[in-house]
Amino acid sequence: MAPEKGRFFYSALVDGVFQVFLIDGSATPARITASELDISVVDAAPDGRSIIVSSAKEESNIWRVNVSDGQEAPASRSVNSELWPAVSPNGERIVFQSAKNLSRGSNLFLSSIQIKSLKARDDSPTVLGERGFLPSWSPDGSAVAFLKKNGDLIELYTANPNGGGERLLASGGIPAIGYSVSPYNHIQTTAFSWSPDGGRIAYISNSNGAANVWTVSVRDGAVTLVTANTDTNYSYNCPIWSSDGKRLAFFSQKKAADANGPANRSLSII
């Protein structure tokens, strides 16, 4: 605010980036910045003719390291932040998410899913999906699964890594993933997992009112309820298949009765 001139400055989102706007008595706010980074107003001069702003930018690239000699080489890098890569089963490609303007963690869930060859260093990545996060290869490398946020819903999709339409597998009730900030590491080992034969994906959903483990058929999208939890005080995460595909392990946590008390955590195998 510049009190002597009656001017009010504020930041608002424009195409996913915070820009600075000015209101000086006019009914229509005037945009005064056009930055690729988030801009926040810190202070304004008393005469209202200038303002002090701050901006933030975070970058990350994907590198590969030879474990025998420690030599490093970039696997993929761009002006965007590249995160959470997964190497294909044959070791020839990586899939990752590319986020623009990562100064806000929420953009983690507005990333594009991209694939790039590990053999051709100058090969440009191929965009597999315009929005998605946490990509994971199928065991045979014929498909990539990932999560996508649509409104308030997180949904599970698959796509052909060689190009092709996305396909919705599971919708509704999938919980958000936890992550740390700078570096952006996801807290759970996984939010979903492929069965060893690639025929099913295990995931967590509270679509029936409480957290449970579900599986979905990659072929026809048929879902199966694996657990029978009805206690809404429990949260489930990290479903992992056994090597023979016959059992599933998952982590559960029950809210403490006392807000200051310890949570009840356990590992289950079914």
Percent of the chain's residues with pLDDT above 90? 41
d(C-alpha 229, C-alpha 250), whole Å: 13
pLDDT reported for residue 1: 47
107 against 207, higher pLDDT: 207
The hierarchical CATH code for the domain 57-175 is: 2.120.10.30
pTM confidence score:
0.79
* Alpha carbon distance 113, 97 (integer Å): 5
> What digits encode the pLDDT tens for the residues 194-231?
999 999 999 999 999 999 999 999 999 999 999 999 99
Given this model, what pLDDT does residue 26 score? 66
Domain boundaries, the chain: 8-56, 57-175, 188-270
Res 157: pLDDT: 96
Give the pLDDT band (50/70/90) at residue 40: confident
* Beta-ladder partners of 150: 153
What average pLDDT is seen over the chain? 85
pLDDT value at residue 250: 96
Inform me whether the pLDDT recorded for 6 exceeds 70: no
According to DSSP, the residues that pair with 168 across neighbouring strands are 157
Ramachandran region, residue 207 (left: φ > 0; alpha: ψ -120 to 50; beta: rest) = alpha
Amino acid 34: pLDDT: 82
Question: Tell me: the pLDDT tens digits for 11-34?
Answer: 888 887 788 888 876 668 888 888
DSSP 40-60: EEEEE-TTSS-EEEEEE----
Range with the poorest average pLDDT among 26-40, 106-120, 128-142: 26-40
